[in-house]
Amino acid sequence: MSNTPAIDIHNLTASYERKPVLWEIDCQFPQGKLVGIVGPNGSGKTTLLKNIMGLMKPDSGYVRIFGDKLNSVRHRVSYVPQRETVDWDFPADVMDVVLMGRYNPKKLFNRITQEDRDIAVEALKRVNMLEFSRRHISQLSGGQQQRVFIARSLAQQADLYLMDEPFVGVDAASEDAILSLLTEMKNSGKTVVIVHHDLQTAFEYFDHIALLNTRLVACGPTEEVFTSDLLQEAYGGRLTVLSRIGELIAKKDFPIREKGQENN
């Protein structure tokens, strides 16, 4: 593994309709590490990923990936957008979505080969979702949907993975599964960059952290970044149960209130 940073961000400023949401971001992420981009909601984490992935043009500054321009290393990079940004009602089952990771941007009349299928099956195994491969994606829990997204990304067989909030709305079992997979990926030499908004878990999860709040608060190895526990107070606890029960109500068509209330 070389010493070139996996991602090198140079004085990057980015804005929406001329209103800057990222100011002069300058930091490097080393290869072969689990990296966290951490900050509260609205701090520009997603915007930073979009700039890294070339989905937005920065006002100034630039990004190098493995020391190169994105276009020459695109096939080595895989991006997992935030789960809520896609329509999970789309007519596709789990296997269909994972196979999307095998589509080739360079070809017309794209065909799916047996090799592609094998790779997709392997990816599903790694996220423990193989038994669901013919399930429609709307019938999965939030955590399972996230794992499908990660499997699609694995199927791209990249060296650098960027995931936007993969732990949001995810049950404890999925969280554990995802986390151990990320560690496994790291151990096989991949670089994984995770957008995350929970500071408390960030300390446990990541080797390297960029603390973001419109500007770069800190960037470096986790122990160095976590010098002030004041930072922790800026964040509240998590209420994942709420979002999951909301999911169940919608899926099972349950009434919010029971007919004819009685006392307990």
Partner 1 sequence: MGSIWSYFNEPNFWWVLMGTAFLSAVASLVGTFTYLQRKSLMGDAIAHGILPGIAGGFLLAGEKNTLIIMIGAILWGILTVASIQWITKRTKLQPSSAMAIVLSSYFGLGMMLLTVVQSSGLPDASGVNAFLFGQAASILPEDLRVYSIFAVVVIVSLAAIYRPLTLLTFDRASAESRGFRVDQLDGVLSVLVVTATAIGIQSIGLILMAALLITPAAIARMWNTRLIGMLITSGIVAAIAAAGGTIISFSAPSMPTGPWIVVVLFAFTVVSVALSPHRGLIHRLRRRQNNQRIIRKENLIKRLYHHWESNQSTTVDDELLRESPEYSSDLLRRCAREGWLKKQGGQWEILPAGMREGRRITRAHRLWELYLSKKLRLKDDHVHPSAEIMEHLISEDIEEELLRTLGYPESDPHQRNIPYES
Range list of H helices, the chain = 45-52, 70-73, 94-100, 114-126, 142-155, 172-187, 199-205, 222-225, 230-233, 240-252
**Cβ contacts of 67-74, under 8 Å, gap ≥ 24:** 67/4, 67/5, 67/8
Residues 21-50 that bind ligand ADP (CB under 6 A): 21, 39, 41-47
CB of 202 to ligand ADP, least distance (A): 13
109 binds ligand ADP (CB under 6 A): no
Q: Which of 21, 92, 121, 130 binds partner 1 (CB under 8 A)?
A: 92
CB of 169 to partner 1, least distance (A): 13
Please choose which of ligand ADP, Mg ion, partner 1, none residue 205 contacts, taking the beta carbon within 5 to 8 angstroms, the exact cut-off set by kind. none
Q: Tell me the residue type at 218.
A: A
Number of CB atoms found within 10 A of residue 207's CB: 16
234 binds partner 1 (CB under 8 A): no
100 binds partner 1 (CB under 8 A): yes
How far apart (Å, rounded) are the C-alpha atoms in residues 43 and 120?
35
Q: Which of 20, 81, 121, 125 binds partner 1 (CB under 8 A)?
A: 81
Residues 41-70 that bind partner 1 (CB under 8 A): 50, 53-55
How far apart (Å, rounded) are the C-alpha atoms in residues 235 and 41?
10
Sign for the CA dihedral angle at 129, 132, 137, 138 comes to negative
CA dihedral 105, 108, 111, 112 (to 10 degrees): 10
CB of 212 to ligand ADP, least distance (A): 7
Q: What are phi and psi of 248, to 5 degrees?
A: -65, -40
Cα angle 9-149-195, degrees, rounded to a multiple of 5: 35
CB of 191 to ligand ADP, least distance (A): 20
261 binds partner 1 (CB under 8 A): yes
The footprint of ligand ADP (CB under 6 A) covers: 16, 21, 39, 41-47
Given the rule CB under 8 A, which residues bind partner 1?
Answer: 50, 53-55, 71, 74-75, 77-81, 85-87, 90-93, 96-97, 100, 103, 105-106, 108-110, 136, 156, 171-173, 237, 239-242, 244-245, 248-249, 252-264
